Structure formats: C-alpha cells, structure tokens
C-alpha cells in the first residue's frame, strides 16, 4: 500500500494525553498515522474521537520496551506504507513521588526502560527504515519535558530519563545527518492531561510548600509537534519548550 501524496507518522503512547492529541492533529493535517501503545483499547478510543479519519490510521499494539516488538512494529509499517516520514517518541511513564532513597528498583527500571530505552529502540528501527527508503530521510521528534531542564522534588527516575533523552536527541541529530534524518526535542510543561490533574490540585514545590500550578491546553502541544513535523528536512527545530505561561519554572517560582 503506497500513498506518495501523504506523509506517514508513527506516534508512540498514542492512547492518551499528548500522544492522543498529536495523533489527532496529524490525522487532521492529512498524515497517515500509525498509533501505538500497550493498550489497544486506548488506541481505539483515540480514533473514536475522530471516526471520519479512521481510514488514514493504523493501530498496532506494541510495548516499546521490547526490542522484538519494536522491530515487528516497524516491519508492519514498512509493509503497509513502504516508508516512515515522522516518528514521535512520546511514550512515557513516571515513578511514585517518594524520596530518592525509597525508590524501588523496579520503578526505576520501568521508568528508564519506557522513557529512554523505548525511545532508543524506536529511533534505531526508524534509522534502518528511513535510510533505506526513497527518498532517504525523515524526522524524529522526542518528547522531552521541563524535567529535562530542572527536576521536581522526588522525581529522580523521571528526571534522569528526560535528561538522558536530551543526550539521545543530540546523538540522533548528529548521527542522522548522513541519512537526511532530522531530530528535535519538544520540552513540555503542564499540558492539561490526566497526568496534570494533581498539579491543578497542588503539588510539592522545591521549597517544601504545596501549590497549585497553571496548565495549558494539550492541543497547543499537538500543534507545536505538528509545526516541527511540517518543516522540510533542510530545516530543524532542535529544541522547543512549550509550557503553561504561569507555571513555576522560570526564575524562582
């Protein structure tokens, strides 16, 4: 199946939050979109929000922590479309917000494996497909975080994974040049998803206080990802920060 007039995009973690909003934004922008995540029912719920676009979408359940599952995912994309133009490494998770010394090893591993190793495995397979397709090249967008710049209290696994994502973004950008693969990172702060509900109620601040934080419409994030995706490959947004204007990040809160 080939669709030379449309770009093909893969969104990981497309069953909720930023992944869901971005998948819908790309579908509405006339992309062919592959939605992946561990929960197929959540992926189907994403498409239920836009049934008129379902003919341009493909659902493939995949655990991005599993190398073979990721290889199979990309093999299915290659078989269906023959190419991949955009990969949005969005799948992510966090660990319980406990003191660093009380973090369980399995929570550390689950966070690193999903947020970092999953992105690496997808990037590796994207390289293999993008450098072999004609025309050669494509774009990889990594979901960083405000936590790629500064931590929240009791967030060592998540913060470490997002700082590492910045290193992966830089290496991907450098190593992808010879294949015409562009890579950029979007660092997001307080998008109004289910994960942000506690922030609106009140979360710990660096000074020990509990304070409610401002949030922003998740569709603004999706439009920012679309802006990055739409650039010709001769141009790249290396890093973009999009955040709720009044969240406590710049300055002292």
Give catalytic residues, as residue numbers.
158
Of all residues in the chain, what percent are helix, strand and coil, respectively (each to 5)?
45, 20, 35
Tell whether the torsion through CA atoms of 122, 22, 225 and 53 is positive or negative: positive
Contact 240, 229 (CB under 8 A): no
How far apart are alpha carbons 197 and 86 in whole angstroms? 30
Strand partners for 86: 9, 139
How many C-beta atoms surround the C-beta of residue 236 within 10 A?
Answer: 17
How far apart are alpha carbons 39 and 122 in whole angstroms? 18
**Sheet hosting strand 57-61, strand order edge to edge:** 57-61, 32-37, 8-12, 86-89, 138-143, 181-189, 239-243
**What 3-state class would DSSP assign to 184?**
strand
Contact 236, 201 (CB under 8 A): no
**What 3-state class would DSSP assign to 64?**
coil
Determine the distance from the C-alpha atom of residue 61 to the mean position of all C-alpha atoms in its chain, rounded to a whole number.
16
């Amino acid at each position: 199946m080939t669709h030379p007039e449309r770009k093909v995009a893969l969104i990981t973690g497309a069953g909720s939050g930023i992944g869901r909003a971005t998948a819908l934004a790309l579908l509405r922008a006339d992309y062919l979109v592959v939605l992946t995540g561990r929960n197929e029912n959540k992926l189907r719920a994403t498409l239920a929000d836009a049934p008129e676009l379902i003919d341009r979408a493909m659902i493939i359940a995949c655990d991005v922590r599993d190398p073979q599952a990721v290889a199979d995912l990309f093999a299915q994309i290659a078989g269906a479309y023959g190419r991949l133009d955009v990969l949005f490494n969005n799948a992510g998770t966090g660990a319980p917000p406990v003191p660093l010394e009380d973090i369980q090893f399995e929570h550390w591993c689950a966070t690193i494996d999903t947020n970092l190793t999953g992105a690496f495995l997808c990037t590796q397979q994207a390289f293999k497909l993008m450098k072999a397709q004609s025309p050669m090249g494509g774009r990889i967008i990594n979901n960083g975080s405000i936590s790629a710049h500064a931590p929240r209290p009791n967030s060592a696994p998540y913060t470490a994974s997002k700082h590492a994502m910045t290193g992966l973004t830089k290496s991907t950008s450098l190593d992808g040049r010879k294949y015409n693969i562009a890579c950029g990172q979007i660092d997001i702060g307080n998008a109004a998803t289910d994960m942000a509900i506690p922030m609106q109620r009140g979360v710990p601040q660096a000074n020990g206080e509990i304070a409610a934080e401002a949030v922003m419409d998740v569709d603004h994030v999706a439009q920012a990802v679309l802006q990055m995706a739409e650039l010709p490959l001769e141009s790249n947004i290396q890093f973009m920060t999009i955040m709720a204007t009044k969240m406590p990040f710049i300055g002292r809160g």
